[in-house]
Amino acid sequence: MSLLAQVTSPLSLGPVVFGAPLALAALIALPVIWFVLRATPPAPRNQDLPSLRLLDDLKPREETPDRTPWWVLLLRLLAAAAAIIGLAQPVYGPAGPPETQPSGPLLVVVDDGWAAAPRWSDILAAAEAAVDASGRDRAVHLLLTAPRARPLTDPARRRSQQEAERALDTLEPASWATDRADALERLEASGLQPSRIFYASHGLTDGTDGAFLEGLAALAPLDVYVAPPRATLAITSLSSDGSGVSVTLSRVNREDPLDVAASAHTVDGAALATAQASFEAGSTETTARFDLPGGALSRVSRFSVAGMQGAGTTWLWDSADRTRRVGIVSTGAAAQPLLSDIHYVRRALEPFATLLEGDLADLIQQRPDAIILTDVGTVPATEMEPLVEWIEQGGALIRFAGPRLAAQDDELLPVPLRRTSRALGGALAWDDPQALAPFSDTSPFAGLAVPDDALVRQQVLAQPAADLQARTWARLQDGSPIVTANGRGRGMVVLFHVTAGPDWSDLPFSATYAQMLRRAIAAGRGEVADDGEGSFVPQLVLDGYGRLQSPGSTAEPLQAAEFATIQPGPIHPPGFYRGPSGTRAINAAAGARLAPISAWPAGTRLLGDAEARRLDLTGLLLTGALILIALDLLIALILSGRMPRLPRKAMAALPLLLALAVALPHPAEAQMLSARGEEALTKAEAAAINMRLGYIQTPDAELNRRTEAGLVGLSRILWLRSSVEPVRPHALDPERDALELYPLIYYSVPENAAPLSEPAIAALNRYMLGGGALMIDTRSGSTPGDSQGLESLSGLLTGLDAPPLAPVPDEHVLTRSFYLISDFPGRYSRRPLWIETAGEEGRVSGDGVSRLFIGDADWVGAWAIDENARSMFSVDGGDDQREMAYRFGVNLVMYVLTGNYKSDQVHIPALLERLGEDEEGGEDIDIDSLPTLQDGGPN
């Protein structure tokens, strides 16, 4: 009886557990099978032979029958063994059931905080393996360490094995951290007495794990699977300044150096920028720096780490720490900058805002968050309308008083002013200079320190009005308003009743001045910087994988004051919260200090990756047996000659197919551009045999790679779309290589490039004179003010025999040599392309075809593809513009290859017209009177 129980229960052999060990008994049969197979000769092949007659009188000799080949025997035995072992339902699970099998309930504890997300599948797999191994009739209880609004799992609930597996399958990581103390409380409250505990952990401490682990260990024997924090990364903080943003990345593993890429995304997920960061060996923190122009920065809404999914590696960026773009209306260079009002404003704002300076009209065009006017009496009537419009769309106009404003004002003021200024102190005044009164709680300046040494000596006075009180943000100790503001549309007009400089007050000397300015600026875009007020409603929340979603029913609004101290949790999940004064974000890993759990309670069994896995071998083995049997069948057929022979051609194709299969992992693109048998050739020979593009090698290796990738991309497009089939481009050294073998040479001008050497220039001259085409790309198209960057070229290309250049005229052959295009975009569009002026007398340049192309649109950037034919760089106008860039590239190569051939097409209408006239009037075609075209036409 006991023996039977023993054999029917699962049998464990080392790390392998057999579900039906009785089947293993069939293994005894293997030697028998072996003997029988060996004794039985293989089935004879049937053959016809007419000359068998000759052997009629040949006595059948005593002969040992041909044995089954040993490898066939082995194959069959293997198949039989695999089938038998497979039927025994083996499961590979090093964690296995423990030696003693207590029948009490199993408690599975799962860490489901944000740190678990990167290795969530491993954690789940380990938990499921533990449930799987527990045995069919064992009760399973689940405990999740991250708190949930409605507990997903009650540790007290008893589940069957299947129920537990189903429950585990539906789990998802939370976007907030684990709270193990809470979990322990819940466990203790349930009063569960497990006989064994399996803990699948992400291995990061949350401060309460010591007590938690002790608590678990005290309950029952504890097995712990730690998903080793491979590269557990989190974005833990962010800082921004005027010129960009730095995000701090943290990791757990400190041994190896690690390179990561962080990217900045817009609200709808488009990546705006990518920044590289590397962890040095031994360090757990690094920063990724995004240098972005203010306009782009304002569109960034979150940062993430490339290749990592999880709430921890996503940083939501709210408007609070966003740098503001502030326009300062400049009044020209002051003779004494330290006395200039603007100087103080500038110094106060520089640390946290992007400053734009210019005249008012320009500034309104650039749509800053705020515009500062210092002592401007009346805004010019022509600017009034756009200025008001800008304010009503959410701009903050900040004005400072001064003698001029005191003299005459306009309607763009928060409060009506008295037409004079009030002087405090001084010989003729009654009052002493006044300090600022504490800010009222309703003021946006609430909470700022009130400087007691900043005295106001002069101010403009507001006319008393009913709503003056409401519009006052700050007042002097005697109660007179010193900062007033009034909403206008979605924007705000703020008036400082003193000068921006120290003429009227000491305020500009104090630190509070900067803070006041900053908060005043924040009034722009409808976001009043009053942190302490209002409640914030969850707008978008992060899930555990770092995806933004609509908030669930459990997410609750949050008071503004709570932001500083909030711990994200089920009630307040990480995400964007919308409040009266803009959007605020809660981040999962804000300020997190990542550290692995280092101390485990005594007696804990720690399982590695391999041990926590369970692999059901049944299917694997049975499939293997089946495959072996099929193989054996095939071999038997071939041996007995019954296998239909493949035609010879098919046989010949077989190795080819195999080679193809082996070659398939290589990108097909690479094969397209690769020319066979070039290995043995010199570069010049290879270039002579196969047509290809060339580029001039620069000292900048990165730029060279980029140029090559660009030309590869263009070559690929040419392969695909035209009969031009260039192979992989060559890097050229003009001094050494034979340039004349390349129809088009591309020169990406590196930044701060040294001028080309004289021999190189001479070679390029010869090349162009001989009909070669040179494309020079300064890649400076992103700087709007720079007129082409051609100035820098002139120094670079000293001695280059450059013909007079002109922008490509309309109707030029370049616009129609293959595609009809109207612009020549690269990564930047609407950049002029300069070519040789047509019809220059006395120039030996083939048929008026331009041999020199100069531009700055960074074409290679738009063309560049990586090995998998994916585009490498972003393009201003997206995919449409990239397509247009390719079309330009095709046109360019066609133009270079076919010269003015296509320009004849240009003449067709004129020629047809002439022919018609000729028929009617018998008039000779006057070649000279044909319209002269800019390029290639007769002249």
Q: Please give the C-alpha separations between residue 765 and each of 364, 728, 760, 769, in angstroms, as whole numbers.
A: 49, 25, 9, 6
Min dist. Cβ of residue 67 to other proteins (A): 9
Residues 454, 457, 459, 462: is their CA dihedral positive or negative? positive
What DSSP line would sit under 567-597, residue for residue? Answer: PP-SSS-SEEEEETTEEEEE-TTTT----B-
CB of 631 to other proteins, least distance (A): 19
Of 56 and 169, CB closest to other proteins: 56
Q: Find the shortest distance in angstroms from Cβ 670 to other proteins.
A: 40
Q: CA-CA distances (angstroms) from residue 914 to 560, 918, 923? A: 81, 6, 9
Structure tokens given for 326: 């502030």
Q: To the nearest whole angstrom, how small is the minimum distance from the Cβ of residue 51 to other proteins?
A: 4
Question: Shortest distance, CB of residue 653 to other proteins, whole angstroms?
Answer: 18
Q: Is residue 732 within 8 Å of residue 678, measured between CB atoms?
A: no
Nearer Cβ to other proteins (65/416)? 65
Q: Which is nearer to other proteins, 51 or 723 (CB)?
A: 51
Shortest Cβ distance from residue 61 to other proteins (Å)?
7
* Residue 354: closest CA among 299, 297, 398: 297
**Cα separation, 78 vs 82, whole angstroms:** 6
Alpha carbon of residue 127 to chain centroid: 32
Question: Least separation, in Å, of the C-beta of 58 and other proteins?
Answer: 6
Nearest approach in angstroms of CB 640 to other proteins is 9
Residues 385, 410 contacting (CB under 8 angstroms) = no
- Return the number of the residue (211 or 646) whose C-beta is nearest other proteins: 646
As a whole number of angstroms, the distance between CA 749 and CA 793 comes to 8
Map tokens 């960034």 to a residue.
Answer: 300
Q: How far is the CB of 63 from other proteins (least distance, A)?
A: 5
Contact present, 437 and 479 (Cβ < 8 Å): yes
Q: Under a CB-based contact definition with an 8 Å cutoff, are residues 569 and 147 in contact?
A: yes
DSSP category for residue 850 = -
Between strands 805-807 and 773-777, the pairing is: unpaired
Residue with Cβ nearer other proteins (76 or 584): 76
Question: Per DSSP, what are the bridge partners of residue 692?
Answer: 727
In whole angstroms, how close is the CB of 77 to other proteins at the nearest point? 21
- Which amino acid is located at 788 in the chain? Q
Q: Which residues pair with 696 in a beta bridge?
A: 732
Spatial separation of the C-alpha atoms in residues 882 and 612, rounded to whole Å? 49
C-beta of 39 vs 465, nearer to other proteins: 39
As a dihedral over the C-alpha atoms of residue 700, residue 706, residue 707, residue 711, rounded to 10 degrees, the angle is: 160
Residues 454, 443: Cα–Cα separation, whole Å: 19
How far apart, in whole angstroms, are the C-alpha atoms of residue 542 and residue 304? Answer: 12
**Tell me, what amino acid is at 520?**
A
Closest CB to other proteins among residues 40, 671: 40
| Minimum CB distance to other proteins, residue 611 (Å) | 50
Is the CB of 191 or the CB of 644 nearer to other proteins?
A: 644
Smallest distance, other proteins to C-beta of residue 18, A: 40
* Least gap, CB of 31 to other proteins (angstroms): 24
Of the pair 646, 659, the CB lying nearest other proteins is at 646
Q: How far is the CB of 123 from other proteins (least distance, A)?
A: 58
Q: Which is nearer to other proteins, 62 or 268 (CB)?
A: 62
Q: For other proteins, which is the closer residue by CB, 46 or 100? A: 46
What whole-number distance in Å separates Cα of residue 263 and Cα of residue 300? 10
- Residues 170, 144: Cα–Cα separation, whole Å: 13
User: Which of 37, 423 has the CB closer to other proteins?
Assistant: 37
Pairing status of strand 458-462 against strand 417-423: antiparallel
Of 43 and 407, nearer to other proteins (C-beta) is 43
**Closest alpha carbon to 686 in 743, 727, 714, 733:** 727
Two structure tokens written together for 237 = 């903080």
* Contact between residue 934 and residue 811 where contact means Cβ atoms under 8 Å apart: yes
Separation CA 801–CA 392 (nearest Å): 57
User: Which positions lie near other proteins, rule CB under 8 A?
Assistant: 41-55, 58, 60-61, 63-66, 639
Residue holding tokens 């009188």?
A: 57
Residues 6+ apart with CB under 8 A from 792: 749, 778
How many other CB atoms sit within 10 Å of the CB of residue 427? 5
Nearer to other proteins, 43 or 659 (CB): 43
Question: Looking at beta carbons only, is 57 or 879 nearer to other proteins?
Answer: 57
- Per the listing, tokens 């990791």 go with 251
As measured in angstroms, the least distance from the Cβ of 33 to other proteins is 20
